[in-house]
Structure 1
């Protein structure tokens, strides 16, 4: 009897997710009005939640459920539900994209789409996952990142701006500084040390930057200081900008030293010179990020020349982000990995 009840819930949620995936999926303006009773329960939506809160809960929950799927199904699930696709690409167009990449027809991709929807619903009623991400599972290090959001804007052929919003949680009493670093990948033909004059780091809100220094030929470290020391369990948010006058390697990755619960990345390319293709880097060893032979999942620019992707429960010393093939064979951009 209990098994039948569980199966009924999974089927009901599957039906609601199939309605949600239609049209623009999670990017639909009407998303808060589209969710049904089962999805509201799974996402923890309350009657008094604002539309923005509802959207945030649904998107976050679906991302976490997708991450519970086998790797072979995750990218299909993301595209089916509208994650990381063009802002105007409707469901049938997304199926066509999947079919092109997999050399399959739309009918076959429809069956696969139905399969991943069922797996997502099944995951929702499986073993509970930690809603607080890695924060509940790990207390390694003096702090961890509960949320990281990065907007990277290409400002020309050889320059970029990185806007980073990072929320950290202290594990110790009296945390004065949060140590941070960026690695600026350089082409093999380049020799010599990085020039700090090429890097500008400014805090927009949440504290101050100090002790900017080179710790290797390609890595810049600095300290973020909150307005007052953090006690164990205290949460604090930094918002800062990194300006780069010169770039080289075509990728942006987060390679955390300490656990990171979520990382959302938005990359805006120069619309006059869009990349030939873009792909997702998901939990790779840092030494493999620039390997051209590694098979990766494609991402697609929207009408504004942007791509968006997200990661949950990032593992320390693994790289997560976006890579791309520049528009020409000329030397491509170099980007930092936080």
Structure 2
């Protein structure tokens, strides 16, 4: 596939020098990679780095750990490996995975090819699924609070209709005992909209659900394409966790620590969330 080869070529070009942190990053990001990451002509170097970094990190979630580390470090996306020369980053990868530099280079090449495969597989699946779906989620915001007698989740969803006359959608809440607070009526597991939604129009609704069990982790799995996913977890100030870890993947894996703010909350943001992939947090 020509597009696959072009994306591989773009990624191999980007890994040179300082990787994504090269000064002329706009010139180093090829056309296929730009299209994949949604980079526009109006984007400056900062916006380009953010868009490309988010997309590559998102795709790398499903790679084996050694390949994920190899490709992210090669691009300069792991702070500890952000060396000015590519060969220095190769040395860092070799030490991290316990192999020699030659093997590390092979791991990087393997990871780049698999990233390209994942990128085009995702686009094909989305393209096939969207016409039948009838709608997708533009934004989802979930607030989970661990204060009070039960764990409670408040969800705000903004959906966009793909076809004229969207009247109802399936409703899946974070926990059980759902209640629609605004934006529709619950009937047999379906959310009936206040009025038919024309194609391209958006609609917001709010849902509450509760869980009598005190969980040690929280994950959200989109059932539709979701452009922007924001998760917040509010802990009991009298029982704050020692550590909170970011979870992502299929199955969900630890993606690093997340700091608590002064209100005892963590916030996690995910862009282009993929259907069937888990996103969330675990705490100890």
Q: TM-score, normalised by structure 1?
A: 0.54
Residue 35 of structure 1 corresponds to: 25
Correspondent of 2:240 among 273, 297, 305: 273
The answer to whether residue 181 in structure 2 is matched with residue 202 in structure 1 is yes
Question: What's the secondary structure of 2:120's corresponding residue?
Answer: coil
**Helix, strand or coil for the counterpart of 1:181?**
coil
Query: Counterparts of 2:15 and 2:280 in 1: how far apart (Å)?
Result: 30
| Contact in 2 for aligned 1:6/1:125 (Cα 8 Å) | yes
Q: Which has the higher contact order (CA 8 A, sep 6+)?
A: 1
Contact 2:217 2:280 in 1 (8 A): yes
Q: Where does residue 292 of structure 1 map in the other structure?
A: none
Deviation at 1:296, TM superposition (A): 3.6
Distance 2:198 2:260 in 1: 42
Q: Give the whole-Å Cα distance in 2 for the aligned partners of 1:260 and 1:121.
A: 24
Tell me if 1:164 matches 2:156. yes
> Which residue, 215, 218, 235 being the options, matches 1:252?
218
Which segments of 5 or more consecutive residues in structure 2 lack a partner in the other structure? 83-91
Q: Deviations over 1:218-265 (max 9, x none)?
A: xxx35151654334xx353435353648553333333455x4355634
Root-mean-square deviation over aligned CA pairs: 4.9
Equivalent of 1:108 in 60, 85, 96: 96
Distance (whole Å) between structure 1 residues aligned to residue 144 and residue 8 of structure 2: 46
Within-5 A mapping of 1:300-319: 300-304=257-261, 305-306=265-266, 308=268, 310=270, 312-315=273-276
Query: Comparing 120-129 with 172-181, which one deviates more in the overlay?
Result: 120-129
Q: How does 1:1-338 map to 2 (within 5 A)?
A: 9-15=10-16, 18-20=19-21, 35-39=25-29, 41=31, 42-44=33-35, 45-49=39-43, 54=48, 57-67=51-61, 70-73=63-66, 76=69, 91-92=79-80, 107-108=95-96, 121-122=112-113, 129=120, 134-139=125-130, 141-154=132-145, 156=147, 158-170=150-162, 173-182=164-173, 184=175, 194=177, 201-203=180-182, 208-211=183-186, 221-223=189-191, 225=193, 227-231=195-199, 234=200, 236-242=202-208, 244=210, 248-257=214-223, 259-260=224-225, 264-270=229-235, 273-274=240-241, 276-278=243-245, 280=247, 282-284=249-251, 296-304=253-261, 305-306=265-266, 308=268, 310=270, 312-315=273-276, 320-325=278-283, 327=284
Q: Give, in whole Å, the separation in 1 of the partners of 2:64 and 2:126.
A: 23
Provide the aligned length of Structure 1 versus Structure 2: 258
Report the CA distance between 1:129 and its aligned residue. Answer: 1.8
| TM-aligned CA distance change 1:8 to 1:168, over 3 Å | closer
Does the C-alpha gap of structure 1 residues 123 and 165 become closer, same or farther in structure 2, counting only changes over 3 Å? same
Distance in structure 2 (CA, Å) of the matches to 1:138 and 1:129? 14
Higher helix share: 2
> Any conservation in 1 of the 2:153–2:208 contact (CA below 8 Å)?
yes
1:152 is paired with a residue of what secondary structure? strand
Verify the 8 A CA contact 1:77 1:117 in the aligned structure 2.
Answer: yes
